Amino acid sequence: MAHKTLAIVALLSLIGMGFLIYLAMTFEPPETTRTVELDTPIPRPVETPVQVAPAQEEAEETRPVRQVPAPAANNQVVDEQQPGAESMSETEVELPSLNQSDTMLFNRLAEMELGASLLRLLAPDDVIRKFVVFVHNASQGELPQLEYPLRRVPGEFEVNEVGDNFYELATANYQRYEPMISTLTEMEPTAVMSLYRQMKPLFQEAYAEIGFQEDFDQVVLRAIEQVMAFTPDEGPYQLIKPTVQYIYAENRYESLPPVQKQLIRIGPENLQRLKQRLPAYRERLQAD
C-alpha cells in the first residue's frame, strides 16, 4: 500500500516529471493494506487496452527522437504566476531510445534543485514506462497492480485495534508520507515542466507501446483532476481484516475508486498540500 501511495503523488510531480510523480508517489502498490473488492470487481484498464495502435511498423516509423523547440518569446518573464512561460530556449535535444532513457532522466533530475531527493524516491529503472502506465490508470481512478515508478514508502502500515477484528486507520500513517510530499510540492514547476517537455516524445512513445495514440498531456490532466476533485471525509476510517489484508468496514469507503482510497491514506493535510501545488502544473499543461 505504501508503494501505491508513493506512486500517486509522484502520478504528479514528475509531470515534467513533476506532476506525474505527484500522483505516482501518493500511491502504494498492492500489498499488506490493499483493499479487495466486496461486490463487483473493479476493472484494471491497463490489462485491457482500449485502442490498439494501427501497426507496430507505424509506431517505429513515427518514433520521435527530438524535442521541437518552442518559439522564442521576447522579453518574457518566467515566474510562478505565468503558466506556459517555461524557458524552452534549448535548440534541439538529442534523446536516447526509450530503453536507454533512465540515464538522461536521472542526470537531468540530479541537476535540479531537490532533484537528489526526488531521485531517492524513484524506481531504479524503466521509470518513463512505469510512470506512463501509472498515470494512465490514475486518470481513470484505477491503480496498476505491478511496476510502480516510485519506491516503497518507509515504515509499516499502522492501525489501532478497537475491538475483535475491528480496527481504525492510524493517523500516524500520514507522517510516513510527509518527506515525500514535501519534496514533490517544493520542486519548482518551471524546471519540472521544462524537463518534461524535453523528454515528452519518450513519454508519448511509451504511451503508444500500450496501445494509445492520445496526446499524453491530456492523460496527465485527467489524472490531476482525479486528485483535485476528491474531498475525503474527516474519519476515523474503520477497518476489518477478513483474511490477510485490511479492507474498509464501511462499503461507502471500500467501494471508492482505488485512487481515492489511496488519497485517504496519505492524510488530509498532505492531500491539501498536493491540491495547492497541482494547479501550477495543470495551467502549464493547458497553456501549451
Count how many residues are written for the chain.
288
Q: Which of 26-30, 120-124, 126-130, 231-235 has the lowest mean pLDDT?
A: 26-30
Residue 130 banded pLDDT, cuts 50, 70, 90: very high
Inform me whether the pLDDT recorded for 248 exceeds 70. Answer: yes
Q: Which of 83-97, 203-217, 260-274 has the lowest mean pLDDT?
A: 83-97
The domains of the chain are located at: 2-31+52-157+172-234+257-287
Query: Beta-carbon neighbour count of residue 169 at 10 Å?
Result: 23
Residue 8 banded pLDDT, cuts 50, 70, 90: low
Nearest to 137 by CA among 29, 285, 38: 29
The pLDDT value recorded for residue 146 is: 77
Which residue type does 114 have? L
- pTM greater than 0.85: no
| CA distances (Å), origin 103, targets 98, 110, 144, 193, 201 | 10, 11, 24, 18, 16
Output 122 or 81, whichever has higher pLDDT.
122
- Buried b vs exposed e over 81-108: b needs ≥16 C-beta within 10 Å? eebbbbebeeeebebeebeebbebbbeb
Output 249 or 31, whichever has higher pLDDT.
249
Cα distance between residue 176 and residue 121, in whole Å: 13
Q: Cβ(5)–Cβ(21) under 8 Å?
A: no
